[in-house]
Amino acid sequence: MTKSRLFCLVVVLGSVFMILFIIVYWDNVGTANFNLHTSFSKSLSPHSGGEQTTTSPTIENDHASDIDRFLDSFLNFATTNNELQSTKPVKEPIKGPNSLEENVRGYDWSSKTKLEEGALDQELIQQGRKLTLQRFCENSSFDYPTKNRAFDDIPNKELDHLIVDDRHGVIYCYVPKVACTNWKRVMIVLSESLLDKKGVPYQDPLLIPREDVHNSSSHLTFNKFWRRYGKFSRHMMKIKLKKYTKFIFVRDPFVRLISAFRSKFELENEDFYRSFAIPILTRFSNRTNVPTSAGKAFSLGTKPSFSQFIQYLLDARTEEQQPFNEHWRQIYRLCHPCQIDYDFIGKLETLDEDAPQLLRQLNMDSLFQFPPSYRNRTASSWEDDWFSKIPLEWRQKLYKLYEPDFVLFGYPKPENLLHV
């Protein structure tokens, strides 16, 4: 064997070894410790260390320096722009990775301020929500389709609601009709994924045009990973799911349906009229000629009723033709709560407390305020009224359809709607 052949052989073997090493390393990071809903004592902020730093110090450090860079730039920005600057006094960020544990173990916090007590209550609320979710994910008597599917078996297209911000290590699963426009705005600003007309990343969430907020090309979502990472995309997802702070906002499922109906069928919306109102009217109203455009239908006062909408949801043909539209698709199908270990579960019903708490948890509360909502929000108290005209049997079937969302997120069964 000549010297050059030997050299080639060494190079080839070396490369093979490196590739194997990388694959094994990724496997370790990706699957070891990737326990679903088992580690609830871990620190609230994944950036603050704990067991997570031990697996991959390099990634953690890169990540930390990313955060530092962001915070620096944000601080610089905040001092030059009064609009974004919080008017509230700057609060103490939640201290250290162990503060929660200390509190739970009876740490004396009597000397703390009202504000800190509020933060503690919020942490306990989060613990409660996560425990409820964990309990039902583990409870084998409680079942629903896809519940026991592994993360690897979730098709890519069902991961299209998970928005990733690599700059701060945040993942948000958006649920339409649950303040998602504003959280998407926040994600765009954090990840600098969209440039304004001057070519500068948007820094004020409220300046982002609504159509851009909902344009999927403004966001990096899990279903796009294959383009970037090829066959390593699942590994990358798992690494990010393990390292990043994952949050979700949920809402009472029946109230969410009312809200979806109001915004997509009571307001003139050409796309929703063509895709959904026409099939609903054709199937469930006795009209022989259904108007072909929203404009015509609205001038004639022809709209699907809430009851026809419910009929459409219960009709087996609907799901056979295509999966539920995201505005009424169940949260468990959008966000896979038994496969993804969410660090923060917010509720629309307590948005005013949960949004600041999440920003505190992300250490962004002094830099950033959640945009206020000006929309005419559907109130939970309207539920009885809206469902009073829906036959009891339909209400019971509808509950079954949305039961996992009620149970997993701790919404009480609406008994008064389910009995005579």
d(C-alpha 151, C-alpha 234), whole Å: 9
Closer CB to ligand NAG, 180 or 281, in the complex: 281
Closer CB to ligand NAG, 31 or 285, in the complex: 285
**Among 58, 141, 289, 388, which residue sits at the site for ligand NAG (rule: CB under 6 A)?**
141
CB of residue 95 vs ligand NAG: minimum separation in angstroms? 34
Closer CB to ligand NAG, 183 or 306, in the complex: 306
Closer CB to ligand NAG, 34 or 142, in the complex: 142
Cβ-based burial of 12 (10 A; exposed 0-12, middle 13-18, buried ≥19): exposed
Closer CB to ligand NAG, 56 or 193, in the complex: 193
CB of residue 12 vs ligand NAG: minimum separation in angstroms? 43
Closer CB to ligand NAG, 54 or 215, in the complex: 215
CB of residue 143 vs ligand NAG: minimum separation in angstroms? 8
**Among 42, 112, 135, 224, which residue sits at the site for ligand NAG (rule: CB under 6 A)?**
135
| Six-digit token string for 201 | 């990343």
d(C-alpha 165, C-alpha 174), whole Å: 13
CB of residue 37 vs ligand NAG: minimum separation in angstroms? 13
d(C-alpha 38, C-alpha 179), whole Å: 29
CB of residue 266 vs ligand NAG: minimum separation in angstroms? 6
184-213 residues in contact with ligand NAG (CB under 6 A) are: 211
CB of residue 129 vs ligand NAG: minimum separation in angstroms? 15
CB of residue 398 vs ligand NAG: minimum separation in angstroms? 18
CB of residue 284 vs ligand NAG: minimum separation in angstroms? 7
90-119 residues in contact with ligand NAG (CB under 6 A) are: none
CB of residue 215 vs ligand NAG: minimum separation in angstroms? 4
Cβ-based burial of 180 (10 A; exposed 0-12, middle 13-18, buried ≥19): buried
Taking CB under 6 A as the rule, which mask of x and - marks residues 323-362 in contact with ligand NAG? ----------------------------------------
CB of residue 382 vs ligand NAG: minimum separation in angstroms? 8
φ and ψ of 362, to 5 deg? -85, 5
| Six-digit token string for 147 | 């519940």
Work out whether 376 is an interface residue with ligand NAG (CB under 6 A).
yes
Between β-strands 170-173 and 162-165, what pairing exists: parallel, antiparallel or unpaired? antiparallel
The number of residues that bind ligand NAG (CB under 6 A) is 11
Question: Segment near ligand NAG (CB under 6 A), from 134-142, 184-192, 293-301, 366-374?
Answer: 134-142
Closer CB to ligand NAG, 41 or 139, in the complex: 139
Closer CB to ligand NAG, 217 or 321, in the complex: 217
Q: Rounded to whole angstroms, what are the CA distances from 380 to 67, 223, 307? A: 38, 33, 18
Closer CB to ligand NAG, 44 or 345, in the complex: 345
CB of residue 302 vs ligand NAG: minimum separation in angstroms? 12
Closer CB to ligand NAG, 113 or 215, in the complex: 215
In this structure, the chain runs to a length of 420
Q: Which of 309, 310, 278, 307 is nearest to 294 (CA)?
A: 278
246-305 residues in contact with ligand NAG (CB under 6 A) are: 262, 285-286
- In the complex, the residues that contact ligand NAG under the rule CB under 6 A are 135, 139, 141-142, 211, 215, 217, 262, 285-286, 376
